[in-house]
Amino acid sequence: MSALMPTYARLPVTFSHGEGVYLFDTEGRRYLDGLSGIAVNGLGHAHPAVTRTIREQADKLVHASNLYGIAPQEQLAERLVELTDMENCFFGNSGAEANEAAIKLARLHGHNRGVEKPAIIVLEGAFHGRTLATLSATGNRKIQAGFEPLVSGFVRAPRNDAEAIRQIAANNPDVVAFLAEPVQGEGGVYPLDRDYLQAVRQICTEQGWLMMLDEVQTGNGRTGTWFAYQDLGFTPDVVTTAKGLGNGVPIGACLARGDAAALFGPGHHGSTYGGNPLVCSVALTVIETIASENLMSNATKMGALIREIIHGKTKSSGRLVETRGKGLMLGFQLDRDCPELVARALEAGLLINVTSGNTVRLLPPLLISESEATELANGVAELILGL
């Protein structure tokens, strides 16, 4: 471990393998995975369809280059376009890269409109990644501190305040786009209001701004629909995603429609690995499996079950202040800070996360069964009661 730059405060456990919703450590202990590697392993661990695709594709071709045609990349783009209201797609290797592509689209859009210093509205509490542009877009000083000068061209707004967006529209002619997560993840699992997002959509249309949604965490079935916006009654211009798309192979995607889909031309953007044959064939399998195993409706059902159990068991204690989230993206805000719960959960054989100091965050695999969801919820409820 000492040869690693200490960018993570790691828990004292190392996993050797997994199966379904369970992970096994090097001592052979079993853990119920309530986090899915932060919303990545929607299909759990060692899913046979994913493993088969990795093997078969590795036998054929892992990497060629974006200098040539890549059949699985074209198929994946077609599939994503079919599932959304988008028209085309750029592939990178991570969520941050997907957002970098979106930020570059917004800047091109601005320059095409004669705006010399185009700016993007971003929200308080947002998380968009750790590259310089995406950490500048992120609404968390801790993530930015020490890395100044930040990338300019971002305007911060409070969440769920449509009036603030109208004010910016009236006063800042440099703004060309809006970027937000439909449910803020790292910021503490805060869903944005439907009315708010619909109002922002309307303002974006009136102003000719790109409405861009960061669905890196909310996408790929996590909230009960392919993308969270599909349950909100409007269509954005740009959608980014990553995490659950690859079930653990590195892939990120930036999808666009309308004017936004016509911005990038040859030489505007690129990535050596982005969308290689291996990751794209795995992502195609992930999408087919989510569809064929009805995992989106499972996410909705199991999310409701977990909420109900945790509520029921902790109600009389008064410790649970608020439950937030959608589908299997859940935040349970307690009446006190509870960072110690992560280590206690580990002792109890559960993998959970705590964000914003006082919010227990659960992101279990989309294929979690009723009995596994019950086991997870009972375990978390006990941990909350034992605080």
Ligand X SMILES: *Cc1c(COP(=O)(O)O)cnc(C)c1O
Q: Annotated binding residues for pyridoxal 5'-phosphate, as ranges?
A: 95-96, 127, 214-217, 272
Within positions 196 to 215, which residues make up the interface with ligand X, using CB under 6 A?
214
Which window, 75-83, 107-115, 181-189, 319-327, contacts ligand X (CB under 6 A)? 181-189
Q: Beta-strand (E) ranges in 158-265?
A: 175-180, 183-184, 190-191, 210-214, 238-241, 252-256
What distance in Å separates the CA atoms of residue 115 and residue 315, rounded to the nearest whole number? 53
Q: Is 161 a catalytic residue?
A: no
Interface with ligand X includes 217 (CB under 6 A)?
A: yes
Residue 100 binding ligand X, by CB under 6 A: no
Find the part of the chain contacting ligand X (CB under 6 A) among 104-112, 179-187, 296-304, 339-347: 179-187
DSSP code for 215: -
CB atoms closer than 10 angstroms to residue 273: 17
Q: What angle do CA 327, 331, 332 make, to 5 degrees?
A: 125
Query: Nearest CA to 21 among 367, 294, 288?
Result: 367
Distance of alpha carbon 303 from alpha carbon 192, whole angstroms: 18
Residue 185 binds ligand X (CB under 6 A): yes
- Phi, psi angles (nearest 5°) of residue 263: -80, -50
**Using rule CB under 6 A, residue 380 touches ligand X:** no
Window 118-137: residues binding ligand X (CB under 6 A): 127-129
Sign of CA dihedral 17, 62, 214, 9: positive
Q: How many residues bind ligand X (CB under 6 A)?
A: 15
Binding-site residues for N(2)-acetyl-L-ornithine sit at: 130, 271
CB of 200 to ligand X, least distance (A): 17
Contacting residue, 76, 96, 135, 363, with ligand X by CB under 6 A:
96
Q: Which of 33, 178, 214, 332 is catalytic?
A: 214
147 carries an active-site annotation: no
Decide if 264 is catalytic.
Answer: no
The residues facing 190 across adjacent strands are 184
State the pairing for strand pair 30-33/350-351.
parallel
Using Cβ positions, the residue closest to ligand X within the complex turns out to be: 95
Catalytic residue among 90, 127, 234, 332: 127
Residues of this chain that interact with ligand X (CB under 6 A) are: 94-96, 99, 127-129, 181, 185-186, 214, 216-217, 242-243
